[in-house]
């Protein structure tokens, strides 16, 4: 079950992290399950309804990518505190084929899977922080953070 891809993104915000929940991403139901957890965390730090919706939507897009393109993997849901600022962080990790051309993959409308090509680019717009680590043949990790304003 554990994902073999080793990425420094996993410990990127270790200093700010107060809790971590790791969930598997294998099936459609796992995506729904994750959306519920993310919504709870977002409500927990009093994100506005619009920011809650943006975060949950971004999580849904990236979780689907992990399953569809990464062949499944896992997600780490982090509670973050930076001084007086609270945030929710998500790190999606898979040990799939990786993204050969990241610049192209981040472009609106580009897809290799017959989708709309909005997953990566759209999620980036919906969050405050976005980082990606991908290596061909090893895997992909995507990290997003939404801070409470």
Partner 1 sequence: MERIPILRMGDLLLVTIQVDMHDRLAMALQDDLTERIVSDGAKGVLIDISALDLVDSFIGRMISNTAAMARVLDAQTVVVGMQPAVAITLVELGLTLHGVKTALNVEKGMALLGKNLF
Minimal distance in Å, beta carbon 28 to partner 1?
Answer: 4
Reduced to 3 states (helix: H, G, I; strand: E, B; else coil), residue 12 is coil
Reduced to 3 states (helix: H, G, I; strand: E, B; else coil), residue 74 is strand
Dihedral angle sign, alpha carbons of residues 7, 12, 13, 15:
positive
Nearer to partner 1, 53 or 97 (CB): 53
Q: Determine how β-strand 139-147 pairs with β-strand 85-94.
A: antiparallel
Pick from 2, 14, 18, 29: which binds partner 1 (CB under 8 A)?
Answer: 29
Number of H helices, E strands in the chain: 4, 5
Pick from 70, 96, 98, 119: which binds partner 1 (CB under 8 A)?
Answer: 119
State yes or no: residue 64 binds partner 1 (CB under 8 A): yes
State yes or no: residue 110 binds partner 1 (CB under 8 A): no
Contact of 22 with 89, CB cutoff 8 Å: no
CA pair distance 87, 119, nearest whole angstrom: 22
Q: Which stretch binds partner 1 (CB under 8 A): 3-11, 80-88, 97-105, 116-124?
A: 116-124
Nearer to partner 1, 28 or 101 (CB): 28
- Residues making contact with partner 1 (CB under 8 A): 28-29, 31-32, 35-36, 39, 49-50, 52-54, 56-57, 60-61, 64, 108, 115-116, 118-119, 121-123, 125-126
């Amino acid at each position: 079950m554990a994902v073999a891809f080793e990425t420094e993104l996993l410990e990127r915000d270790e200093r700010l992290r107060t809790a971590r929940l790791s969930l598997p991403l294998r099936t459609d139901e796992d995506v729904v399950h994750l959306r519920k957890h993310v919504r709870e965390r977002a409500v927990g730090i009093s994100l506005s309804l619009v920011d809650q919706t943006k975060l949950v939507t971004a999580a849904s897009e990236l979780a689907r990518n992990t399953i569809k393109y990464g062949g499944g993997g896992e997600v780490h849901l982090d509670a973050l505190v930076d001084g007086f600022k609270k945030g929710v962080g998500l790190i999606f990790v898979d040990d799939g084929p990786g993204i050969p051309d990241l610049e192209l993959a981040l472009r609106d409308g580009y897809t290799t899977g017959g989708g709309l090509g909005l997953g990566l680019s759209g999620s980036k717009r919906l969050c405050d922080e976005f980082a990606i680590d991908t290596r061909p043949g090893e895997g992909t990790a995507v990290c997003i953070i939404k801070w409470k304003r």
